Amino acid sequence: MPIPMREVLHRGREFFMGQSNVHEAAERICRTLNEMGIPYALCGGLAVARYGSQRMTEDVDILLTHEGLRRFKERWLGVGWVEQFQGAKGMKDAYSNVKVDVLITGEIPGDGKTSPFGFPAPETAAEPDEDGIRVLKLRDLIELKTASGMTAPHRPRDLDDVMRLIEANHLGKEYALQLHPYVREKYEELWNYAQASHEDE
């Protein structure tokens, strides 16, 4: 059954005002990780929004190390968070029923095998925002999303996110030099598409 338009508009208004259950779930897990001293980085759609490109998302993406995930689960599974399924990395916020997808340092983005680099260590790849939530740095976000979109055809949104981040942050074509060589050519291609989108306006 289609979702009634009134509900769609209500959800959208809550989300873009930062008052959705997704935002609440993100704040809850980030606050808890901060209190435990566990290194993490907020990733995914919420990180994209942090850098000026607003879009709705239905889950929270968190970068952790294996040790950080172990410590968190040891303390909090069954007390505020539950596994998405038995033995899964990912969890659900028991209060909001929002999925928390966990990315692990060293794992390969996209198809899980092609990219020559993996997810970075959250200790160095994140910086706190004004609320103390540690967000993946822009360079790492662009690098990972570009690699993901290049190697996983079912994830075209990652490439669209990169285009929107280029526009929102007024990045130049030379920004490619800050990125891993593997993604530079694709970044330049997306940069060109981003400029073309302005010409169509």
pLDDT in tens, 27-46: 999 999 999 999 999 999 99
d(CA 135, CA 49): 11
pLDDT band for position 8 (cuts 50, 70, 90): very low
128 pLDDT above the threshold of 70: yes
Query: What is the per-residue DSSP string for 23-81?
Result: HHHHHHHHHHHHHHT---EEEHHHHHHHTT-----SEEEEEE-HHHHHHHHHHHBTTTE
Rounded to the nearest integer, the mean pLDDT of the chain is: 89
Instruction: Give residue 6's pLDDT.
Output: 45
200's tokens: 């169509």
Q: What is the DSSP pairing of strand 59-64 with strand 41-43?
A: antiparallel
Amino acid 132: pLDDT: 94
User: 161 pLDDT exceeds 60?
Assistant: yes
Which residue did the predictor score with more confidence, 189 or 20?
189
Q: At the topology level of CATH, where does 5-199 sit?
A: Beta Polymerase; domain 2 (3.30.460)
What average pLDDT does range 62-77 have in this prediction?
A: 97
Number of CB atoms found within 10 A of residue 87's CB: 6
pLDDT tops 70 at residue 189? yes
137 touches 75 (CB < 8 A): no
Per-residue pLDDT at 3: 41
User: Which is more confident, 166 or 86?
Assistant: 166
Q: What is the pLDDT of residues 100-114, one digit of tens each?
A: 999 999 999 999 999
Supply the pLDDT for residue 159: 97
Which of 14-18, 60-64, 150-154 is predicted least confidently?
14-18
Structure tokens at 80: 């505020």
Q: Among 5-9, 19-23, 190-194, 196-200, whose mean pLDDT is lowest?
A: 5-9
**CA 122 – CA 38 distance, rounded (Å):** 9
Its pTM stands at 0.88
Confidence category of residue 198, pLDDT binned at 50, 70, 90: low
Task: For residue 2, name the pLDDT band (cuts at 50, 70, 90).
Answer: low
Instruction: Record the tokens describing residue 106, joined without a space.
Output: 């060293």
